[in-house]
Amino acid sequence: MDYQHEQHTVHLIVYHIIWCPKRRRHLLQGKLAERLEQLVREVAQENAWEVLRLAIQPDHVHLFIRTNPYTLPTDIARKIKGRSSHVRRRGISAVAQTAFLVDTQYLLQHGGQRQCRNHTELYREAEQDMSRKPKGLQNTLQVRLYPTPLQGHLLMAHCQEYIGTVNVLSSALDADVIPHDDTFSTKDFVASLPSCVKNQALRDARSVFKRSLELDCLPVLKKPICQWNNQNWQISHGTLTLPVCLDGKTQQIQIACADVALEGLPGILRIKKKRGKWIADLTMTIPAPKPVEQDGVMGIDLGIKVPAVAYVVGAGSRFFGNGRYQRQMRRRFYARRKKLQKAKKARAVKKSQGKETRWMKDINHKLSRQIVNHAHQQGVGTIKIETLQGIRKGTTSTSRGASARKNNRMKNSWSFSQLTAFITYKAERLGIKVEQVDPAYTSQECPACSTRNKAADRTYVCAECGWIGHRDMVGAINISRRAGLSGERRGAVGA
């Protein structure tokens, strides 16, 4: 953010305003939220203020606004509040009218002044941060929780508060209104969470912000979750003990849960509600296995006709999975869903979707197990696999045509990212390294002379040197020869 120069003054004034409906009701959703956003922007425009960031949560609103020295901070709140409750009383819906904004409380915070730092600097920090991951392999264990109804409410409140806090902090970081370093700590913001959870929220907000630099937009988290770090929770004999914020005080509570045996060092605990059930994700770190003393290299090509082709340098190739069967099954799932959709059986459609997802996951587990076992037997020390990065970003400049087509295929078909993830973790547990390579043109290049040909038939014939081989092998052979991409990021934590 730059200072604004006027005839006699130079200024940079940012306010952070938070306000909420009476008794913090969860009203600001759907149309109401849209209308409110519109109003805030209207008021800001009329007064020549700049809305830096506006985050409307169901029960509160955060506004970062840049104004001038001639505006009283109370005036900002008054004007916005006045307008919105005025309109509310005359319009929208009766439910909203009674409770909303008739008497809002508002809180003002000084945004403070801060010059925008160089973003490349932040990039470097982000990279450093990522490399400081704990050593060893991460293993996530899902545990079903059985909270009492009261505990359930408490957990939900924590989850919503947590996500709200992360969103607010990350937008504050993005608007440069709070410092990016350690001078900003849990003491500097308010949230009804235990301090260790606040700390975790701050950490998450920082990582969300860092990720926003890569994504080029600030993600707003929606799913309510709450996280505790390793020093604060314990699980034993079907009881999970963790600190929560109750009546403004931090207290330990005990929640009944499934009895599980833990392996490795406990890490972050994440609690969420999934289809009406409370689930705890426990991240465990298992000690890294010794790298295998095998130097074979394997390339894996993923596809539709043959789900996976593995080529071991010097030992030949092997096909995994049955593409025809998988396609047939998926067509069947699709046809069934269509039928249900016509019959307007929405619940059944969802159920069928879940069924297909689980079926696909099962196949991916089996395929990856077979592939990794094969690799282990063949003395493979490095598995090379095509990278699935950049799919969401669309085409990359390095590989336009080929990757676009491949992306399309990836999107509409098998969950290759899941298969890749399964192969990766299974291999790493055996000490086999997994490298990602750029898949551009791997299915076209001749393994002997690198000319690009298009296979017209099941057999690939090189027009240049006459190399002949099975079409599906070509990709795997080429992948096994490509150099691994540097700076790869695996296991990015997305909340």
Binding to Zn ion in span 417-446, by CB under 5 A: 446
Contact between 473 and Zn ion by CB under 5 A: the answer reads no
Angle between helices 73-90 and 30-46 (to 10 degrees): 130
Cα gap 79→472, rounded to integer Å: 66
The minimum distance between CB 447 and Zn ion, in angstroms, equals 8
CA-nearest of 88, 49, 255 to 158 is: 255
Q: Looking at beta carbons only, is 383 or 446 nearer to Zn ion?
A: 446
Supply 308's token pair.
């996976």
Cross-strand pairs, 57? 60
Nearest distance in Å: CB 454, Zn ion: 13
Binding track over 441-460 against Zn ion, x by CB under 5 A: -----x-xx-----------
Q: Which of helix, strand or coil describes residue 226?
A: strand
DSSP state of 220: P
Crossing angle of helices 149-174 and 195-215, in 10° steps, is: 50
Least CB distance to Zn ion at residue 469 (A): 10
Nearer to Zn ion, 169 or 462 (CB): 462
Nearer to Zn ion, 324 or 452 (CB): 452
Per CB under 5 A, the list member of 464, 468, 488, 491 interacting with Zn ion is 464
Smaller CB distance to Zn ion: residue 410 or 473?
Answer: 473
CA 481 to chain centre: 31
Burial class (CB in 10 A: 0-12, 13-18, 19+), 157: middle
CB of 306 to Zn ion, least distance (A): 22
DSSP state for residue 188 in the 8-state scheme: G
CA torsion angle for 37, 41, 44, 49 (degrees, to 10)?
110
Among 43, 462, 474, 479, binds Zn ion (CB under 5 A): 462
- The three-class DSSP label of residue 463 is coil
- Minimum distance from residue 303 beta carbon to Zn ion (Å): 21
Total residues in contact with Zn ion, by rule CB under 5 A: 7
Least Å distance, CB 480 to Zn ion, is 17
**Least separation, in Å, of the C-beta of 169 and Zn ion?**
56
Per CB under 5 A, the list member of 54, 294, 467, 481 interacting with Zn ion is 467
Go through the chain and tell me how many residues it has: 495
Query: Whose Cβ is closer to Zn ion: residue 95's or residue 465's?
Result: 465
**Which tokens in the block code for residue 40?**
């805030």
**Residue 119 CA neighbour count, 13 Å, CB half:** 12
Q: State which residue, 299 or 307, has the beta carbon closest to Zn ion.
A: 299
Residue 224 contacts by C-beta under 8 Å, 6 or more apart in sequence?
Answer: 156, 159, 160, 162, 163, 272, 273
Smallest distance from Zn ion to CB 299, Å: 18
Contact segment (CB under 5 A) with Zn ion among 145-153, 295-303, 353-361, 466-474 equals 466-474
The binding site for Zn ion (CB under 5 A) comprises 446, 448-449, 462, 464-465, 467
